[in-house]
Amino acid sequence: MTAPALQRLIPTFKARTLAWWLAVENAMPGGRGRRSLWVALIALVMAVLVTLVWLAGRYEASQLQAELERDTANAVSDLRTQLSRHVQALQGLQSSLPSEAFWSLEAQALLRENRDMLRIEWRDTTLNLKQSADSTLRSPVFERVRRTETLSETQQACQRAQRSSGPNYSRSYYLPQTDGLGIEVMDMCLPNTQGGVLLGYTVVTYGLQELLGARLGESFGRRNEISFTEPDGTRLAISGTQSRGLRVFTAQQLVDLPGNTLVLRMDGRRGEPDLFPNVLTALVTGMSIALVTVMVLLAKDSRRRLKAENDLAEALAFRKAMEDSLVTGLRARDLEGRITYVNPAFCQMVGLTSEQLTGKLAPMPYWPPEMVDEYKQRQAIRLAGNAPPREGFESVFMRADGTRFEVLIIEAPLISGQGQQTGWMGAVIDISEQRRIEELSRASQERLQATARLATVGEMASLLSHELNQPLAAIASYANGSLNLLKDPAAVPQTLDDVHMALRRIAEQAGRAGKVINSVHDFVRRRDQAREAVAPVALLDAIAPLVNLQARKLQVKVHTRIDPKLPPVLCDRTMVEQVLLNLARNGMQAMDQPGSNERVLVLQVRRAASNAEHGWVEFSVSDVGVGIGEDVAGQLFTPFFTTKAEGMGLGLSLCRTVVEQHGGHLSFEPLTPRGTVFRFTLPAVLLDKITA
């Protein structure tokens, strides 16, 4: 914008500004408001001017930063291009399959042309060195440190290069030199393949310092300081110089190389931008924008104020509706204990209106008269701040009609917008119905426990009646046989021996009945039964008289098969004998059917799966009866399920429970061509444990 144009614009701008200001001034109610508006206008104009100048400076600074970032990006591009050319030159060196002398000459030529190459190596497929050439422009880099000590990074790079069939760079590492200093270097490994066959590798050692100076120093290092850095900012190599200036600009770019990533950092110093770039034009434009902005802001402020008032009214109405819909009573008190607010739920709870409660001090009208002194002490502790906040406590309130009800009170400090406590806010919950339900639940629980005890008594009676049938039947059989023998007046000594034997059996079965009663009693009460190590043959011998007695009656042959050298089992002897007796009796009754010609019951004991820690002994009872149908198999172990007219349905259920309490498993399966076998396992006692 030219000076004459500015001279024509300024009077017009002044006139418009004055007219707008007069209109705004007439709209203001008083002088104080006008002074405030003047102050706001001046402050706004000054802020706009300062902001414009600052933005101009920021713009020039951003331009300088962008220029430095472009230089950094170009430097990275040039560096990649140079490294690609090196790869092409090395591929040309590999393609001719030269002799070692010719290879050395070509390698020296490459080293002379590229100062950043410090060493070129020709290695075979196992990375053994065949030929090497060091740069003549400086002392050998591996003069102080042997090459074999730094070969690990090179090996990794060559392995990656072989997998990718292309050049691969190692991570940079530090090499101390003979002059007491050191340099940072990295290796590039290029595989030599012809016809898909790996012939060897060409390894080039680059000096990072020389790489910066030779490739980027002339073009970018005159005005900037260029360096390779690690991700944490540690500088690996530096090149270039920094000119003196007032401000440092920094740019960084990643140099992505196969197998390694370097960070190229470029630092440059530039002078600060001019303080007032085209200030007059910016000033006029800024003032115009500022005046228009003030008008717009005033209009928006009026609309925002009206909208805020409407939002506040809606928020208050919503809060009032929410408080009125609560079933929890709310009560607010000041620091002196005076009620300042109650919601409708609290009023309905105590049967008093808000006017009757607001402003009341202790004693409160909803306090029971007999508890006034106690409640006063509790309130004094609360108002003194000695009670923990937000911790509920139970109390008793009184309604207007005199009825008492239990409540749960949770109080917390009431904090104002300035962060000061102005009182206490409490939530009051009527828990009288909850207490009534808890009392009903407690009474129901007591009735359930009584019912459970009765069920236990019935279960014990059923088990006793089921298990005592066998010893009682045996006692009756032995007693009848003894009476028949004694009726013979010509009894011989052999007959008297039989009578004595029968009486001993009667005594044994009577003792067995007592043991059954004790075992069933402990079983029903879920007590731990006394377990002992018992030989399997002793269990079969104990039930043999009863089994043989019923076998003779039903014309059944009983075969016993016991594997030799079986370990003893750890069990409750009486209960396991009952299991064997029940299974044997069921098997013999299953063969007592029409059509059963050969009746054979097999009792077998053998060793089951075992290891060094645990062993098992398997008991099986086999019969050749009619078998078990599919409709019966699913309910066979269900309590009180039976297929016998006189059965109780508890035998197999009791057997499975006893076996499972010993840690074993009871199962059954059909026999071919007919019959059923029941198997169960018991834990064996290993011999080494018995010895210990």
Confidence of residue 391 (pLDDT cuts 50, 70, 90): low
**Look-up of token digits 């064996």:** 684
Tell me 214's DSSP state: I
Q: If DSSP codes are grouped into helix, strand and coil, which group holds residue 598?
A: coil
Asked whether residue 530 carries a pLDDT value surpassing 50, the answer given is yes
Confidence of residue 52 (pLDDT cuts 50, 70, 90): low
CA distances from 485 to 455, 501, 532 (A): 45, 12, 39
Q: Which of 687, 535, 554 is nearest to 610 (CA)?
A: 687
Residues in the chain: 692
* Residue 569 confidence (pLDDT): 92
* Residue 11 confidence (pLDDT): 46
Confidence of residue 224 (pLDDT cuts 50, 70, 90): confident
The residue-averaged pLDDT of 75-99 equals 82
CA distances from 294 to 10, 48, 307 (A): 20, 12, 20
136 neighbors 112 (Cβ within 8 angstroms): yes
Cα dihedral across residues 469, 474, 477, 483: positive or negative: negative
* Residue 450 confidence (pLDDT): 53
- Count other Cβ atoms within 10 Å, centred on residue 597: 6
Asked whether residue 84 carries a pLDDT value surpassing 50, the answer given is yes
Enter the tokens of residue 410: 């949770």
Distance (Å, rounded) from C-alpha 366 to C-alpha 403?
Answer: 10
Q: Which of 185, 127, 191, 142 is nearest to 162 (CA)?
A: 191
Provide the mean pLDDT of the chain: 76
Q: What are the tens digits of pLDDT across the range 543-593?
A: 888 888 888 888 889 999 998 888 999 988 888 888 898 898 888 888 877
Residue 60, CB-side half-sphere exposure with 13 Å CA sphere: 15
Asked whether residue 4 carries a pLDDT value surpassing 80, the answer given is no
Enter the tokens of residue 207: 């000096």
* Residue 288 confidence (pLDDT): 63
* Residue 618 confidence (pLDDT): 93
Q: What are the tens digits of pLDDT across the range 148-180?
A: 888 888 889 999 988 888 899 988 888 888 887
